[in-house]
Structure 1
Amino acid sequence: MIFEKIRDCIMSRTNLSESVVTMQASLRDDLGLDSFDLAELGIELEDVFAVTIPDEDLIAFHTVSDIVTFMKNSTK
């Protein structure tokens, strides 16, 4: 469920297909997100999951899996 919400947020910001947005996908290398895209994605994820993502955590996200792990730990 968490992965699917994150995948949908990423897909809504990009023209990427569902098959490209995997747990192992690199946000920068595979999905082509730059720092501005990541900042906007962070804001959207904060709204969707009703959490706060500190800047130091946001810049530490390298893969979709990193975001999923953060959200699992933040929404307990």
Structure 2
Amino acid sequence: MATVIERVRTIVVDKLGVEEGDVEETSSFVDDLNADSLDLVELIMAFEEEFSTDDSQVEISDDDAANIRTVGDAVTYLVDHGVSES
């Protein structure tokens, strides 16, 4: 199974239509990957859906979402909130 960073990268490529090679841990969703506010909402929803399981639902609050600015921020948030590296 893919790691958290690989799964996040796949979602970002799909939702933002960027090249996989452009998606680094330090990539800013807005500054580097040209995401707008709607894109950010869609990314958060996609992260919640991808990383939720029957046993554990991932819910990212609006306040938390505002602090997820880079790919690395997303990975760190997910791991800190119980998503395992599998």
> Could you say whether these structures have the same fold, taking a TM-score greater than 0.5 normalized by the shorter chain as the test?
yes
**Structure 1 portions without partners, runs of 5+:** none
- Structure 1 runs of 4+ aligned residues shifted over 6 Å read none
Could you say which residue in structure 1 is the equivalent of 2:8?
6
Question: What is the 5 A alignment of 1:33-72?
Answer: 33-50=35-52, 51-72=58-79
Q: 1:6 touches 1:68 (CA, 8 Å); kept in 2?
A: yes
**Structure 2 portions without partners, runs of 5+:** 53-57
Bigger Rg, structure 1 or 2: 2
Q: How many percent identity over aligned positions? A: 33
Q: TM-score, normalised by structure 1?
A: 0.94
2-structure distance, mates of 1:42, 1:14: 12
Q: TM-score, normalised by structure 2?
A: 0.84
In the comparison of the two structures, how many residue pairs are matched? 76
CA RMSD of aligned residues (A): 0.9
Q: 1:23 touches 1:63 (CA, 8 Å); kept in 2?
A: yes
